[in-house]
Structure 1
Amino acid sequence: MTDKIIFGRYIPVESPLHRMDARAKILFVFGFICIVFLANNVITNAILLGFTILAILLSNVPVKFLLNGLKPIFIIILFTFFLHVFFTREGALVADWGWIKIYEGGIRQGVFISLRFVYLIFVTSLLTLTTPPITLTDGIESLLNPFKKVKLPVHELALMMSISLRFIPTLMEETEKIMKAQTARGVDFSTGPIKERIKAIVPLLIPLFVSSFKRAEELALAMEARGYKGGEGRSKYRELIWSTRDHILLFLFIVLTLILWFLRS
């Protein structure tokens, strides 16, 4: 299970994406989430697919590791695809099985929407896979600095977001351990009626909540023991450096946005 969770993890390898400024990557990812909806035909989807593959190659993250990250939501992608195939009535009729009718537009929409899920998962995952949690926190805090004027606790907010991302794989590892322990005690999570499976989850949730609160308390005590009192007056050991490659990344984003805008149907 833990091998299938990629969001929130960091892979310490050498790559062009690892060397980029965290702020540039954060801005690009948030922008990419918006422009992915501009892809509504074969050409624009091909461009986004090529750009996503290029980003994966530049990250030096194993492709097999990224593909494993699709497995937890593969059912959602498949459900979305068939939802559009069976309920979108656009274009030429491809198949007619009585009350089940499949149209060309439904297949096309199903493929395009499913691909959007794939783009978003890969690109957003590359943000955490190529950026250390501390650097990601500094990047978020730097981008939110203007909001300090309206008394927004920027440092604390950035720290909470970073800790949340960091603890996703940790909680999944804890869930796997508890599931194995419960399975050894005779609990069956995979067979039986739906009602029985839901009941089997209760022995899993209670120890998971207890473990989560225990970890949160230990983290709070560790931070207090090290003198943490918020972001006021704190200095940075690692300074973020904006370089030419970060300008290039944002320039490519602008070019990509314009291309998708003019080529969309």
Structure 2
Amino acid sequence: MDKLILGRYIPGDSVIHRLDPRSKLLAMMSFLLIIFWANNLVTNVLLFAFVLIVVLLSKIKLSFFINGVKPMIGIILFTTFFQVFFTGGREVLWQFWILKVTEEGLQQAGIIFVRFVLIIFLSTLLTLTTMPLSLADGIEAGLAPLTYLKVPVHEIGLMLSMSLRFVPTLMDDTTRIMNAQRARGVDFGEGSLIQKVKSVIPILIPLFASSFKRADALATAMEARGYQGGDGRTKYRMLEWKLADSLVLVVMLILGTLLYFMKN
């Protein structure tokens, strides 16, 4: 539970915490685009410096960001492995059967590894410094133009906010069910891989039952209170775009321009 990042918000009063969620989302999407322009040592160092400065401005411990990388380390290493051994090049450093290590492969693997880590760091920063409900409001506001195409934007925002809201609750239920199973003698760490998978079944069945029961109770409560979404519904939390939010977009524009002219 202490390592849960998704849906977790750390209260603070840093400059990153005070930004509008819409500006954070736009900055995150901009970062996902311009990171593919970082294809050499200088551009990657520039991105690392940028992310490090943003992390320091958030005043959040680095351990939270490392915990955000740990669940993805297997995928990162798997992808890096393929880049190292299956990327062709003129300068072959080592070769065995169909596996070969080239200078270009090592460079490409390093770039992919850096991209994964930087994206995870910045997405972790987004979740840690933005309340889940505010994040959902920001997404709903960003999708507002789609209402002209009859897209149910409000319902999408509602589903997203409820999903983020109940992630910690589901984790609490999982911990409670696992403790109950351990009290009955179940050991989740023993046996072969198949036995470990089978030991998860006693967790999933009551977890699904609890989730459906909670969803039904929530729907009944909303209907009893006369909930109606869509047009005419006011909001308790009002988003406010400030000068700092505009400066964030200017910074991302400058960063993207620098990367474009510094890339190979």
TM-score (norm 1): 0.90
Structure 2 residue ranges without an equivalent (≥5): none
Deviation of 1:174 (Å): 2.5
Q: Once the two structures are superposed, what CA deviation does each residue of 1:121-170 show, in whole Å capped at 9, x if it has no partner?
A: 12122222212223223222222221111222111111212222333333
Percent identity, please: 50
Matched position secondary structure for 1:37:
helix
Aligned counterpart, 2:144: 145
Q: Once the two structures are superposed, what CA deviation does each residue of 1:19-47 show, in whole Å capped at 9, x if it has no partner?
A: 11111111111222222222222112111
Matched position secondary structure for 2:93:
strand
Distance in 2 (CA, whole Å) between partners of 1:52 and 1:91 is 33
Is the Cα contact below 8 Å between 1:9 and 1:166 reproduced in 2? no
Deviation of 1:261 (Å): 1.7
Q: Measured at CA, do residues 214 and 19 of structure 1 come closer, stay the same or move farther in structure 2, by a change above 3 Å? A: same
Deviation of 1:97 (Å): 5.5
Matched position secondary structure for 1:94:
strand
Aligned counterpart, 2:200: 201
Aligned counterpart, 2:14: 15
Letter aligned with residue 126 of structure 2: L
Runs of 4 or more, structure 1, over 4 Å off, are 96-100
Q: Once the two structures are superposed, what CA deviation does each residue of 1:83-132 show, in whole Å capped at 9, x if it has no partner?
A: 22222232533334566432222222222112211111121222222122
Is the Cα contact below 8 Å between 1:3 and 1:68 reproduced in 2? no
Distance in 2 (CA, whole Å) between partners of 1:220 and 1:143 is 26
Distance in 2 (CA, whole Å) between partners of 1:144 and 1:62 is 32
Aligned counterpart, 1:89: 88
Q: How does 1:1-265 map to 2 (within 5 A)?
A: 2-90=1-89, 92-96=91-95, 100-265=99-264
Matched position secondary structure for 2:2:
helix
Q: Measured at CA, do residues 153 and 99 of structure 1 come closer, stay the same or move farther in structure 2, by a change above 3 Å? A: closer
Give the total of aligned pairs.
Answer: 264
Distance in 1 (CA, whole Å) between partners of 2:41 and 2:171 is 37
Q: Once the two structures are superposed, what CA deviation does each residue of 1:213-254 show, in whole Å capped at 9, x if it has no partner?
A: 122223223333443211331112332111110110001111
Deviates more, 1:89-98 or 1:159-168: 89-98
Is the Cα contact below 8 Å between 2:86 and 2:99 reproduced in 1? no
Is the Cα contact below 8 Å between 1:3 and 1:65 reproduced in 2? no
Q: Measured at CA, do residues 80 and 172 of structure 1 come closer, stay the same or move farther in structure 2, by a change above 3 Å? A: farther
Q: Measured at CA, do residues 77 and 131 of structure 1 come closer, stay the same or move farther in structure 2, by a change above 3 Å? A: same
Is the Cα contact below 8 Å between 1:90 and 1:104 reproduced in 2? yes
Task: Calculate the aligned-residue CA RMSD, in Å.
Answer: 2.0
Q: Measured at CA, do residues 91 and 14 of structure 1 come closer, stay the same or move farther in structure 2, by a change above 3 Å? A: farther
Is the Cα contact below 8 Å between 1:4 and 1:71 reproduced in 2? no
Is the Cα contact below 8 Å between 2:177 and 2:203 reproduced in 1? yes
Is the Cα contact below 8 Å between 1:187 and 1:200 reproduced in 2? yes
Matched position secondary structure for 1:102:
strand
